[in-house]
Structure formats: structure tokens, C-alpha cells
Structure 1
């Protein structure tokens, strides 16, 4: 059984509603679709980082497109987890408290707004889910190659089910996460197989990117047995990143990348430099091994500690 605002969902129904953030006046938009047959409950969230619009648009499009007659089980769409950021083009943080929502789980009932959103998501939505898909993209300052993280810090069974979900997306690259923070990682630690999908960035939602994202999510739903009557597209061979490296800026300056997301490189190859206003090199980023660029900042100006680039082996 599945409940929204203490109301049990009925078979064969689609419910578009809002759920209030616990102990706050903010409201989160939710669409719940329950099929005619019993089956798994899948939570799909978007907008944890509010300016990652391609995930939001993909969730909104699928919530309108899918009908109860196509569903075996239930799909819960959290359409925008961080509304204030989405409406103000705010990257990474919840504007009201300046915190990264994806680092707040499981949240606090009496915390700041970010902590209250996380608490509400965990109590009202994650607790009911059998599987979880979190939709992301490069932020306004980032560009990414299309890839998928799966939860690696969980029981062997949960991690393997997460890996199979990642494989079902058909994306070229999957990365086994070793983090314990983040909405999907927290859910996996609680026993819910989970993935985080990445596609697009820079605040854009191009039609071809949206169509690919939509199809990748649907392929996971078919794999889970929740979506029926769908023909899967032919999948490309998927490779797994065994090691991921995340580089931050060591100083305030200007960032000059040498590669683009999806480019491969050799050990020792220059990936980018940070320079001061006079052109003096402050930091050279070189590959620690042969690898592939996952994402990078597109901003020229960077502060100390700012993310520059991520790559994998």
C-alpha cells in the first residue's frame, strides 16, 4: 500500500498533488501513478539541485505521459525537490539556508529548510519505495557526459540490484559510488536499490537530451517490471568506472580545461590549469591514470575549493 498525505492510493489512479514540507510552509509537487496490478513502488525524484532542469523536465514529461494502464505497481514522482532554487536559477544550494540538499539526508524535523526537505523526502516518499531513481545533470556551471552512478555502500544484494538498474539505463558509463552522502546513497544504505542519473547541464534542456533521458528512465522501469508494453531500444555496451577522482581548485583564479566530458586521456596528460590574472600557473591538473572525463566546470572564474573536474578509470 502507498500513501500520499495520509491518503491511500487507489488502483488505476493518477494523483497530482503537493506534500507540505514538515514544519515549514514550503510545498513539494508530487505525481503518483498506481496501476491496476500490484507491484513495486518506484520513487523518481528531480530537482534536488534546482537548476538542473533537464531532470525536472524529464520527470514532468513522464508523469504526464504514463498512464495507470501501463503500470504494474506504483510510480511516485517528486517533480521538484528544491523549488526555490528551480524558480531562481540557483545552482547547487537551497537559497533559504545556503546548504546542499543532497548532503542533508536523512535530514532533521526541526533543522533548517534543507534538512526539513530531506526529512520530508525520507519520511513521506523514500520510506515507501522499493526502488529509487534520482535525476540530475550538470549544474549551471557544469557540463557532463551522460553516465549513471549506482549505490556501492550498501548490502551486497542492494548494491547488485542497483548495478543492474544502472545497466538497464543503457548509458555508456556507470560509476560505483563509494559515498555515504546523497539522497540515493542514503536510501541504499536503508535497503532501497538506488541510482543517480546524469545528463546535460548548464541549465539547458535540449530536445534530443530530453528524449534520451526519458527513454533511459523508461528502460529502468521496464527492467523493474513496473512499466509494460514498451519496446526497449538497443543498448550500447556499458563500461564501469573502477576509480573516480574529483579535483577542486587549490586557489582563486581562472580555469582553462584541456578536455571535454567524454574525452579519454593518458596517465600524466594535462587536463586543465588554473592561472592567476597575470597568466601565471597556480595549479596544473594531470591525469593520475588512463581515464575518461566525467564532468567539468565551464566557468572561467573559480574560487578556492570549487569543483574543477571529475574523471574516472
Structure 2
């Protein structure tokens, strides 16, 4: 019997139900697929950000189509990991504490709403698996070129396993992140010894069926590569990126980008400006590195500390 929180699935059984926790009010829809034979344990997440609809749809459709007979090992799928943000249509943040759930892992038992949710997810789901695949996309105000991310750690073997998994989604750009320890699902999981990646596709709060299929097929290909699903593994040509350079707003005002997603930019080029409510420029922003624009905020309204765009190189 495989137990995940209050849910359980016998060998050869598929179960759907709600994960419930004493720390939080939210109930998380979950699928548990316990294969007929032994193998790795995998967690597929989506909806960490509530308005990334394409990735939520991808996780849900993948879960609906996966049966125990298709699995060697165990697969848990949580398609809406942040229900409060999903139903509030809240961009980036949990509506109760205005914190980005993907910046507070592994969470706290005595923290805010986001921190408690992160703790429940980490302790109940992430901490008990071998592999984490976290599906994302452009939030309601973000245009995005599909890309995958993995955490670069001092454990070279773990890093390489994560890089290989991230390269199997049929997505051109693969980013090796050297950012801060913890905070995000994949980074926190990596420092717990898990092979962990994020795959991003879809944008601007639109449910894109083609991009959903891209994420679904990528997830299947990744699972085939580790022996959880049967079938030939498709190896894709990818471009490895080792820099993920973000720009953030220093002012509240109006954001006018000068670039588009997928555009190659040179270091030092003007990438946009923020103006005040009279149209006067408050600050111009310049590329901190050369590379490709992976995502871009498309909202005219911008708040101080909001992300503006990210460049990968």
C-alpha cells in the first residue's frame, strides 16, 4: 500500500481524491498511480502559480490518461497545487499573504499561508519521491518561450541526471540555474537529493492546447527515460543555457518593453523603460547579459519589485 498523506493506493491501483492537511484550509486534488511492478517514485506538480493554465491542463490530462498498468513504480500528480491562487485568479502570489509560493520552499509550520502550503507539499509529497517534474508557464501577464530549468548543485551526478531529464521535453532551451538555495520547488528538491526540474510552456493566462500536449508528451518521454513508462525515449536537440538573468522593476508605473520573447539581445542594449502616470520616463533598463529573451511581462501596469523579463545565455 502506497500512502501519500491521507490518500493511499494499493499496488496496481489508481486513486483520485483530495489531499487534506491540518495546517491549511486548502484541499489539493491528487491522483496516485501505483504500478503493478516496482520502480521509481515520481511527483508531477502544476498550478504552483494559479494562472498558469496550460501547465495545469497538461498535468490534469496526463493524470487522466495514465493507468496503473502503464506504470512501473509510483506516480503522484497534483494538477492544482495552489487552489486559493487558482480560484482567485491571483497572478504570482497566494491571495492570503501575497507571497510567491515558488519562493518559500521548503516552507514553515508556523509561517504564512504560502509557507504552510509549501511545508505541506514538501513534507507530504516532494520529500517522499525520487523525481520531481514541476510544470509551469507564463503567468497571466507573461509572454514566454518554452524552456526547462534544473538546479546546478555541488553533486555533479545529481545535476547531470536533472539536466538529462530537462532535455527530454522537446523544448529548445534548457537552463542550468545557479540561483539561491531553496525557495523554488526544484531547487529545494535538488538540495534534498531529488532529481528535479521545471518545464515551462504556455503564456498570458491562455489555455493553449498545443503547448499542453507539448508538456504532456515531454512528461511521458521523461518517465520513459527513467523506466517508469515503457516505450522508446526520444532524444531532442537542445540549447544549454547557463545564465538566467532577471530584471526587476525599481518603480511603480507603466512598463514599455523594447524587446520580444525569443529575441536575441546584446549585453547593454536597452530592453525597456518604466514611465510615470504622465508618460515621463522614470528609468531605462538595459540587458545585463547577451542572450535570448525567455519571458517578458506584457502588462502596462507594473509594480515595484515586479519581474520585467529574463534573458538566458
2:212 corresponds in structure 1 to 210
Shift of the 111–303 alpha-carbon distance from structure 1 to 2, 3 Å rule, reads closer
SS of equivalent residue, structure 2 residue 51: coil
1:110 corresponds in structure 2 to 110
Q: How far apart are the structure 2 equivalents of 1:184 and 1:288?
A: 25
Q: How far apart are the structure 2 equivalents of 1:312 and 1:281?
A: 26
Within the alignment, does 1:248 sit opposite 2:248 as a pair?
yes
1:59 corresponds in structure 2 to 59
2:21 corresponds in structure 1 to 21
1:187 corresponds in structure 2 to 189
Q: How far apart are the structure 1 equivalents of 2:3 and 2:227?
A: 21
Offset of residue 286 of structure 1: 2.4
Q: How far apart are the structure 1 equivalents of 2:156 and 2:2?
A: 27
In the TM superposition, what whole-angstrom CA distance separates every residue of 1:232-256 from its partner, at most 9, and x where no partner exists?
Answer: 5562x21111222111112222111
The TM-score with structure 1 as length reference comes to 0.94
Worse overlay, 107-116 or 140-149:
107-116
RMSD of the TM alignment (CA)? 1.7
Offset of residue 7 of structure 1: 5.6
The TM-score with structure 2 as length reference comes to 0.94
Offset of residue 72 of structure 1: 1.0
Offset of residue 278 of structure 1: 3.5
Query: What aligned pairs does 1:7-156 form with structure 2 within 5 A after superposition?
Result: 8-153=8-153, 155-156=155-156
User: Do the aligned partners of 1:22 and 1:117 also contact (CA within 8 Å) in 2?
Assistant: no
User: Do the aligned partners of 1:257 and 1:271 also contact (CA within 8 Å) in 2?
Assistant: yes
Shift of the 253–217 alpha-carbon distance from structure 1 to 2, 3 Å rule, reads same
User: Do the aligned partners of 2:7 and 2:17 also contact (CA within 8 Å) in 1?
Assistant: no
Provide structure 2 residue ranges, at least 5 long, that are not aligned to the other structure.
none
Shift of the 6–26 alpha-carbon distance from structure 1 to 2, 3 Å rule, reads closer
Provide structure 1 residue ranges, at least 5 long, that are not aligned to the other structure.
none
Worse overlay, 105-114 or 44-53:
105-114
Shift of the 24–287 alpha-carbon distance from structure 1 to 2, 3 Å rule, reads closer
User: Do the aligned partners of 1:175 and 1:242 also contact (CA within 8 Å) in 2?
Assistant: yes
In the TM superposition, what whole-angstrom CA distance separates every residue of 1:164-192 from its partner, at most 9, and x where no partner exists?
Answer: 11112221011111232211110110000
Offset of residue 204 of structure 1: 0.9
Worse overlay, 109-118 or 296-305:
109-118
1:221 corresponds in structure 2 to 223
Q: How far apart are the structure 1 equivalents of 2:245 and 2:282?
A: 20
SS of equivalent residue, structure 2 residue 157: helix
Q: Paired residues, what number?
A: 311
User: Do the aligned partners of 1:22 and 1:116 also contact (CA within 8 Å) in 2?
Assistant: no
In the TM superposition, what whole-angstrom CA distance separates every residue of 1:230-288 from its partner, at most 9, and x where no partner exists?
Answer: x55562x2111122211111222211112211111223322222223343322222223
